[in-house]
Amino acid sequence: MDEVTVRQSTPLDAEAIHALMRPFVSQHLLLSRTEAEIIELTRHGFVAMVGPRCIGFAAIEVYSPKLAELQCLAVHPEAQRLGLGRKLVGHCIERARTLGVMEILAISSSEDFLKSCGFDYSLPDQKKALFCQLRPRNFDDN
């Protein structure tokens, strides 16, 4: 693989991010996002690039000074298992730290990977996340 650079994403990256996410959405590994939603996520997001090609993306959505959520972590299959996902998550964690966010949550089926990045099922003071689903998740590609 050619040299990979990770940088702050911009709204101009939205189309490439959307294309990167599409296969993950069709496999029900990521929720579908509109291009407008992706543009909003670029504010606190990072892309991994090989030349002009987007091969990875991750972002945080900041809900309050207490909480942000890691969202849309996607790495092209050809670039997986090279540490790129970990690098993207690290950038997101550092962004949250810079913004003074207290906690980051991640909802994912990749629990072993996220645990290796420092996430766990409960915080040191034993808080646990509980969910009540109010409507079905949208897996349709927008």
Report pLDDT for 127. 67
In a domain, 41, yes or no: yes
Its pTM stands at 0.84
Domains in the chain, number: 1
Residue ranges making up the domain that contains 91 = 4-116
Q: Rounded distance, CA 87 to CA 82, Å? A: 10
41: nearest Cα among 27, 21, 65, 55: 21
Give the model's pLDDT for residue 23. 94
pLDDT along the chain (142 residues), means of 10: 89 96 91 92 96 95 93 92 92 95 86 84 69 70 48
Residue 49 has what pLDDT? 96
Q: Is residue 101 part of a domain?
A: yes
Please tell me whether residue 135 adopts helix, strand or coil conformation: coil
What is the C-alpha to C-alpha distance for residues 80 and 136, in angstroms, rounded to an integer? 29
